[in-house]
Amino acid sequence: RPAGAAALSPAGDCQAYHFSPAARFRVVVLDAYDLSILGRQPDSPRYQESLQLLREKNPNDNLNSPTGLKEPQFVEFNGGFSQAQLDWFNEVLKFSDENQEKVVVMGHLPIHPDASDGVCLAWNYKDALSVIHSHQCVVCFFAGHLHDGGYCLDSHGVHHLTLEGIIETPPDSNAFGTVYVYEDKMILKGRGRISDIVMHF
């Protein structure tokens, strides 16, 4: 990694990482299920921490039901970002600011309400947004999870693109795209359900 860059990944079993495929351009992949009860042993500390948070926010018998929730994203099929991951993310973006990099962030769960429905957002999406908005370097956040897709350009000039899911795509169609990166923009050339979009920096 470049001298002085933040560690490649946060501590523990978090699956976040970053890399630089070209000069002054960085990709950060966040682990949106760092906090989650999915895929974890019930006796693990992270499972217990996640279940406690989920039960505080969701009193429903069915934890996949958002019925009556003030914050409907607190359902079992979602997850969130630990404070350790958010701190690591902040350090990576600080490095990218100092080195005048453009950063594309990816995570399975959307983090902006205007690029998702309320139910499919990461549990603590506001915390991830706050980290991004405290830096100048992020140009785009790519997400999935919401199979119908979504898009917005937020108040800080960050593009939030939620890509349509292949699982909802008819067998005779497609749902994928290729991103072309330039100095001043990215162009997504979509196939099938994925529309073309130009995202200026």
Please state the rounded mean pLDDT for residues 127-136.
98
pLDDT exceeds cutoff 90 at 105: yes
Tally of CB atoms within 10 A around 102: 19
46-55, 87-96, 119-128, 168-177: which range is least confident on average? 168-177
Q: Are 60 and 5 in contact (CB under 8 A)?
A: no
CB atoms within 10 A of CB 177: 19
Over 50: is that where the pLDDT of 139 sits? yes
179 exposure class (CB count in 10 Å sphere: 0-12, 13-18, 19+): middle
Q: Which residue has the higher pLDDT, 186 or 193?
A: 186
Q: How far apart are CA 116 and CA 145, in angstroms?
A: 9
Q: What is the pTM of this model?
A: 0.92
Looking at every residue in the chain, the average pLDDT score rounds to: 93
Cβ–Cβ under 8 Å, residues 103 and 28: yes
Amino acid 4: pLDDT: 53
Give the confidence band of 1 by pLDDT, cuts at 50, 70, 90: very low
